[in-house]
Amino acid sequence: MRITIFGLGYVGAVCAGCLSARGHEVIGVDVSQTKIDLINQGKSPIVEPGLAELLEAGVKSGRLRGTTDVAAAVLASELSFIAVGTPSKRNGDLDLGYMESVCKQIGAALRDKQERHTVVVRSTVLPGTVKNVVIPLIEAASGKKAGVDFGVATNPEFLRESTAIKDYDFPAMTVIGELDQQSGDLLQELYSELDAPIIRKSIEVAEMIKYTCNVWHAAKVTFANEIGNIAKAAGVDGREVMDVVCQDHKLNLSKYYMKPGFAFGGSCLPKDVRALSYRAGSLDVEAPLISSLMRSNAAQVKKAFDIVTNYDKRRIGLLGLSFKAGTDDLRESPLVELAEMLIGKGYELRIFDSNVEYARVFGANKEYIESKIPHVSSLLCKELDEVVAQSDVLIIGNGERRFAEVMESVGEDKQIVDLVGFMAHPTQANREGICW
């Protein structure tokens, strides 16, 4: 393909070298004449193992060159990658100055181009940037319509410094955010020879994926550091602890807990988070991430409460009271907390949970139910149909399969609040998910 890369910094230079090595014709564009001169001399503008050799080979083969002429580069290519910097402002927001400038220049060049051109944002940008900034600027400068007269896509990079070429050649995945199918097809063709899954999503989802990955990596580093600090203060080698933790691929390093939804609960997680936070404090060890977990968990319960109370309806049905399906354990169940909040605000609440109903009569949790939450347990109904029929808002609280069937069968006269993830689609008129 004939490709233009705008921005010859870390991402742009690596992509230029790797794409030219794979036989594509690449034009690098940058405002810095120094960078352009280095590229045209086959030299790397950044320090990255193996990149200088790729750039030198690309220039010698005639497949790579640099220029400051935006219009000429756009007219000579079919695909433009935007890889300019998006640095932080003082308030933490992104500075899109470079992005805005490039979009205006690309748009001006497209005004006189008859051949279809596809613009791909490779830079890391927040969700909504392409829709609210990139597309309007290009459309205004070109007089053309995105998705019709020119293509638009995002293609977030997952390159680590010092291993960028290997990361490019052997990615874990390739994410394509497409405005139109033709743009997605073009990028899929470009990456077809890479041995990795190609994931095609909407532009906004792709933008969010990149940030989620980076913040998750930051969270992992911070978590490991805090565990290490607490362990050291307790006379334990944190490296030994985390080495064993990382050997568990069933739960610790897996997708099991990585699903947006309601708060955690049960007899273990809340108690152990509080205990470790307390121990860190008693050892004079700062653990801001770990110490914030219970506060974040409480905020998720409050969010569910706010969703329900935003409706002008007073009859509420709660399907599920235990913290997860298949158990009668109510200890620190966030659903109990949610029920208490609704009761406190005077809502007419009905609850169905067959496991808890059994426990109230026969189970080991009978004493807990009678002594700790009698005001909540008194609202338990024996029949699911009774709760459904007499409620205007139904909260899907845990993952019992019957609750999914209820959600699919009830009419539009009832508002559903899904805390589990049964909904196949994001929030709609009478179906609202807590995180979707």
Q: What residues act catalytically?
A: 268
Block residue for tokens 């830079």: 123
Q: Is 331 annotated as a binding residue?
A: yes
The tokens describing 286, both together, are 């700062």
- Two structure tokens written together for 85: 């910097």
Question: How open is the CA angle 185-138-180, to the nearest 5 degrees?
Answer: 20
Residue 163 annotated as lining a ligand binding site: no
Q: Any known ligand binding at 211?
A: no
Burial (CB count <10 Å: 0-12, 13-18, 19+), residue 8: buried
Residue 129 annotated as binding?
no
Instruction: Tokens for 324, please give them.
Output: 């997860």
Does 256 carry a binding-site annotation?
Answer: yes
324 is an annotated ligand-binding site residue: yes
Pairing mode, if any, of strands 174-178 and 151-154?
antiparallel
310 annotated to bind ligand: no
Helix (H) or strand (E) holding 176: strand 174-178
Q: Are 98 and 7 in contact (CB under 8 A)?
A: yes
10 is in an annotated binding site: yes
Is position 217 annotated in a ligand binding site? yes
Query: Using CA atoms, how far apart are residues 412 and 421, in angstroms rounded to an integer?
Result: 19
372 marked ligand binding residue: no
Instruction: State yes or no: 225 annotated in a binding site.
Output: yes
Cα 300–304–310 angle (5° rounding)?
135
Tokens of 263: 């708060």
Coil, strand or helix at 331 = coil
222: which 2 tokens?
A: 């911070």
Let me know: does 108 contact 36? Beta carbons within 8 Å.
Answer: no
Say if residues 351 and 379 touch (Cβ distance below 8 Å): yes
The response to whether 11 counts as a known ligand-binding position is yes
Q: How far is CA 163 from the centre of its chain?
A: 24
Annotated binding site for NAD(+): 10-11, 30, 35, 86, 124, 271, 331
Annotated binding site: 10-11, 30, 35, 86, 124, 161, 210, 214, 217, 225, 256-257, 262, 265, 271, 324, 331
Annotated binding site for GDP-alpha-D-mannuronate: 161, 210, 214, 217, 225, 256-257, 262, 265, 324
